[in-house]
A and B are shown apart, each in its own frame.
Chain A
Amino acid sequence: MKPARFEYDAPTELEEALALLARHGEDAKVLAGGQSLVPLLNFRLARPARLIDVNRVGELDYLRRRDGVLRIGALTRAASLERSRVVSLYWPLLREAVELSGHPQIRSRGTAGGSVAHADPASELPAVLTALGARFHVRSSRGTRTLRAEELFLGFLSTALEPDELLVEIEVPPVPPRTGTAIIEHARTHGDFAVGGAAAVLTFGQRGRCERASIVLLAAGPAPRRAAAAEASLEGRPTSAKNLREAAALAAAEVEAPFDREFRRALARELAERALTKALARAKEAA
């Protein structure tokens, strides 16, 4: 099908985009890479009165590493994350996640900010950014605020962004030393939406103990969130295969699914265990 009629603005500067959002936010949708929004428009599942297309706001397209912190402009394409040497070197989890999301023809357009603002719980980028403890910088004509993943992702395809607000930057802290990361997912076909998956960040400490763990499951509930009980079960304990398996089981117990719950929990447990095992092996390499 074709999109229904809409008003259209294509601002070239951030301030202009914010002014448009202040005026029209209630009736408008922000169009970034369009890889999720345009299918919804084509199916007329979304019929916004107005689109504010931010693709020409070039000042939001950047990747910078300073003082160990990565700053990702909201308009940065997935393909740019994939090609970035800095990302591969210091945040391999981001690269691994992007390689699992869609296909090259999708990643050439899809943006980091769009993926986050769309907040699909099956999506890779929101999951790994949550696992990495990213912070999300939001602007509006009223001012600026910074949100943690727990504050931003409210539920299925829903975020704490107000109608006049725009996500402008994602800030990713450095991965600590002696830390390994991994994301593993299962999709019916390559590049398709994940049926299940797990991202893990594991810091290897003294005497073979886990110093810090961060685990986020994909497609496991309305929003990406950290598996707190599983993380707590690992921290300060030996990183034995048994303990990793127990942590994976704790994470999987939190999977919410309206159907196929047993299957999804079994899948989550298996994938979480594999992700933790892989992250641990990488942490040992890094140690």
Chain B
Amino acid sequence: MTRAIALEINDRRYEAVVEPRTLLSDFIRHEVGLTGTNVGCEHGVCGACTVQLDEEPVRSCLMLAVQADGRSVRTVEALAGPDGQLHPLQEAFRETHALQCGFCTPGFLMSLESYLREHQDPDEHEIRDALAGNICRCTGYAGIVEAVDLAARRLRARTDAARGSKQ
């Protein structure tokens, strides 16, 4: 038994025929070919496969592709600009050594990008709380916490500048 689905991924429409048991993570990687989303534990613990579904972070290994029918998905490939300009969060990750092997990074980025949209000025405790749903086995998290703080500051400055120019 297969199903026809149509969904948006990174603002592009995809139509496909899938088995209901196909996980969203596998659909994104194997059918669509967007391999930025990594699959770690495949049972919702590690957070590596985190993507955004209608702007909310979700574990793509805990969703069926058929459940994303008619929805909008964002993956790590959507973060950088069309000219390859990195997102401020990605910039900050690079500058503060918030990644080593990089396997967990896409999941962190998609969780945190969503978090920073709702929390502009998190303190260290709140940042650690926000990244608790993602596991990193290399960095010890210190660099990641620093990166989120740096990115939040830059995003605030950018918002302030945008506000200032409107006045």
Contacts and interface: CB of A to CB of B under 8 A. Distances in A.
Interface of A: 1-8, 10, 34-35, 38-39, 41-43, 51, 53, 55, 79, 102-106, 108-109, 189-191
B105 to A, nearest CB: 15
The prevalent SS among residues of B at the interface is: mixed
Nearest to A39: B43
B115 A104 contact: yes
Given A2-B21, A51-B20, A105 B66 contact: no
B21 A6 contact: yes
A38 B1 contact: no
A191 B132 contact: yes
Contacts of A7: 1, 20
Interface of B: 1, 3, 19-21, 23, 26, 42-44, 47, 50, 53, 56-59, 61-64, 66-67, 111, 114-115, 128-130, 132-133
A55 B62 contact: no
A185 B50 CA distance: 26
23 contacts: A3-B21, A5-B19, A5-B21, A6-B21, A7-B20, A8-B20, A10-B66, A10-B67, A34-B67, A35-B62, A38-B44, A38-B63, A39-B44, A41-B21, A55-B67, A104-B111, A106-B59, A108-B57, A109-B58, A109-B63, A189-B132, A190-B132, A191-B133
B61 A42 contact: yes
- A contact patch SS: loop
B47 A103 contact: yes
A79 B64 CA distance: 20
A227 B50 CA distance: 39
B167 to A, nearest CB: 31
Given A42-B42, A190-B129, 17 more contacts: A1-B42, A2-B21, A5-B19, A7-B1, A8-B1, A34-B63, A34-B67, A38-B23, A38-B44, A38-B62, A42-B23, A43-B43, A105-B47, A108-B57, A109-B59, A109-B62, A190-B132
A190 B3 CA distance: 38
A6 B58 contact: no
A63 to B, nearest CB: 17
A36 B135 CA distance: 19
A35 B115 CA distance: 20
B63 A6 contact: no
B20 A103 contact: no
A191 B111 CA distance: 15
A106 B59 CA distance: 7
- Report the 10 A-B pairs with minimum CB-CB distance, sorted nearest first: A103-B133, A8-B20, A39-B43, A190-B132, A108-B56, A38-B62, A3-B21, A105-B57, A105-B133, A191-B132
B93 to A, nearest CB: 18
A191 B3 CA distance: 35
Which of B3, B19, B64, B129 lies at the interface centre, i.e. has the most chain A CB atoms within 10 A of its CB? B64
